Structure 1
Amino acid sequence: MSSLAAHTPRQFASELRRWRNARRVSQLELALRAGTTQRHVSYIEQGRSRPGRTMVVRLAESLELSLRERNALLNAAGYAPLFRESPIDDDVLRPVRDALDRILEGHMPYPAVVAGPIGDLVAANAAVELLAVGAAPALLEPPVNVLRLAIHPDGMASRVENLSEWGRHIIESVRARTLRSPDTRLDALLAELESYLPPLSPGPDHVGFAVPLRLRCEQGELQLMTTLTSFATAVDVTLAEVHLEAFLPADDATAQILHERERARRAGGRVGSLPPELVVGRRA
């Protein structure tokens, strides 16, 4: 008997009920979203009814599960996964990688990275060398984790003027992700990252953790804002789990410094310390 056929309606029922409770959705609301009846959802959750593959997909979509989680729910119901998971260097993803490379290059002279679900660096532009200045070599060995690099004492932390606030911006972002899509790897990383941060005592003017990064460099203090872009319509698990993080100057002084650094980099042919295979423009 195959592993898929071995699954029972009760196994799927348990998973569906777990996700519905995690999303804080009632049976009626889930039924309305999925285009079925509350009675049918109730029967499914009791293990009295085995849903078809299409219904499982509709329920997963209605619960806003990730592609990986949708595949797992299909498997729990006894069906084969619907969404493929291709290696990032697979030929099927080459057009996407080429497009990402163009975006990274087009963002110069401002730093930008493409990272995986737990922060592992997939690709970067040459300006990201700014973030790696003075970092311990161990933090720059593949796979480079950009979250760890950002707030590790031997990474960027010693140059971040507002580490308490900005570091907690990162922490809260990771925490929100773990609540939305539980992942033991993220749980472990979150515990590690929290151990690096100094205590914070918010004053009366505290407005939250969404603050610009204040980063020291040779030319002065930079103020950088960040934007996150994900692939909302991806049909490949790997692509759905990566995101593009781009840094933007928050003031004219920062923009000027970054332009000057890029001119100096081009004139001096600086190589930098990140793995060359990950940096656009430095690949063999």
Structure 2
Amino acid sequence: MTSEVMDGVHRFARIRNMNTLAPSAFALPALSAGEGRRSVGELLREWRVRRRMSQLLLATEAEISTRHLSFVESGRATPSREMVMHLAERLDVPLRERNTLLVAAGYAPLYRERALDDPHLAAARAAVELVLRGHEPYPALAVDRHWNIVASNGALAPLVGNASPALLAAPVNALRLSLHPEGMAPRIVNWHAWRAHLLARLQRQIDASADAALMALHDELAAYPAPTGAAPACVESIQHHIAVPLRLRTALGELSFYGTTTIFGTPVDITLSELAIEAFFPADAATAAALRTKQD
């Protein structure tokens, strides 16, 4: 490895140690912290429209009358705490935003947001660390709701070592690191396909959560120019692929990965509900062999 790569690896290693678990047709205005001052009926209506549900459909699924739902949304009826939670469940509202609904209705928040080093999250933290370590020699990382890296295994650092120091300064954003011209982008062989995949995935998150920070991140990433020397955009053949691979030029040669996402299945803590493990598996035998050899 060159000294520049080693410096980059060391910078990223420090970040890992610091953070290791220590517009669609229905687009609406982003939800923000200030929305606690808005009525719960307004917020519920926006979530219903965002989920593309009619009042009749939501009322049917919630087993309440359409008249009652209409009264709640218009502010003519004040929903109980249980009704707020019942409707939020039917609308699949994220835990963080369920708290917003409760506050808007005049109730105390229900879900806590603990730091990752909180003793109550010790078992979950250990599970994440076990998954990350167990995935070596293949790269894996844990990210928060805004794609900031909170932990990673040792296989990731060598792949990002050539990135600009500014991109490796905490908090490290995985999507920015991947697509920025001074990040991994110049070494991504199929940059156009990978970019399209990441932006589409990010848009799905925005559609589901209406998160203003994710909207801003999407706009930023979409504005990045193609890296110098990037192959022209084209419709790649998918005949021999099962998913969009990440094809990366490295000191070990070209490596190809498929990504998977793991989340906690039944979280009642906001931090856990927003935590995801992104694990990359070899997409071909050459990649698997190269990484196993490097580990040995």
- Give the TM interval when normalised to the shorter protein: 0.7 to 0.9
Q: Does 1:43 align with 2:76?
A: no
Map of 2:100 onto structure 1? 72
Give me the whole-angstrom Cα distance separating, in 1, the residues matched to 2:128 and 2:144: 13
Decide whether aligned partners of structure 1 residues 174 and 209 sit closer, same or farther in structure 2, where only a CA change above 3 A counts: farther
Q: TM-score, normalised by structure 2?
A: 0.81
Aligned partners of 2:159 and 2:250 also within 8 Å? no
In the alignment, is the contact (CA less than 8 A) between 2:189 and 2:247 conserved in 1?
Answer: yes
Deviations 1:49-77 (A, max 9, x none): 11111110000010011001111111111
Deviation per CA, 1:113-171: give whole Å up to 9, x if none. 00011111111000011321211111111111111111111111111100011111111
How well do the aligned residues superpose, as a CA RMSD in angstroms? 2.1
Residue 137 (structure 2) aligns with: 109
Task: Pick the aligned partner of 1:189 from 214, 217, 225.
Answer: 217
Matched, 1:154 2:187: no
CA contact (8 A) 1:168 1:209 kept: no
Structure 1 SS opposite 2:280: strand
Are residue 53 (structure 1) and residue 95 (structure 2) matched? no
Is structure 2 residue 127 aligned with structure 1 residue 127? no
| Count of residue pairs brought into register by the alignment | 256
Q: 2: distance between equivalents of 1:134 and 1:188?
A: 26
Aligned AA (1:18) = E
Code of the aligned partner of 1:148: R
Return structure 1 stretches of 4+ with deviation > 3 angstroms: 199-210
CA separation of 1:158 and 1:202: change in aligned 2, threshold 3 A: closer
SS of residue paired to 2:69: helix
Please state if 1:22 is matched with 2:50: yes
Task: Work out the percentage of aligned pairs sharing the same amino acid.
Answer: 46
- Whether the aligned pair in 2 keeps the contact of 1:53 and 1:74 (CA below 8 Å) is yes
Match of 1:250 in 2: 283
Q: Which residue of 2 aligns with 1:170?
A: 198
Contact 1:166 1:209 survives alignment (8 Å): no
Seen in structure 2, the aligned counterparts of structure 1 residues 88 and 63 have a Cα distance that, compared at 3 Å, is: same
Instruction: Pick 1 or 2: higher relative contact order, CA cutoff 8 A, min separation 6.
Output: 2
Give 1:35 deviation, angstroms.
2.4
2:39 partner SS? helix
Output the CA distance in 2 between the equivalents of 1:13 and 1:149: 39
Q: Which amino acid aligns with 1:244?
A: I
Shift of 1:209: 11
Given residue 212 of structure 1, which amino acid in structure 2 is its aligned partner? P
In the alignment, what sits opposite 1:275?
none
Q: Which runs of 5+ in 1 are unaligned?
A: 1-6, 264-284
State the TM-score, normalizing by the size of structure 1. 0.85
Residue number in structure 1 paired with 2:253 = 220
Unaligned runs of 5+ in 2: 1-35
Corresponding residue of 1:85:
113
d(CA) in 1 for partners of 2:236 and 2:291?
Answer: 33
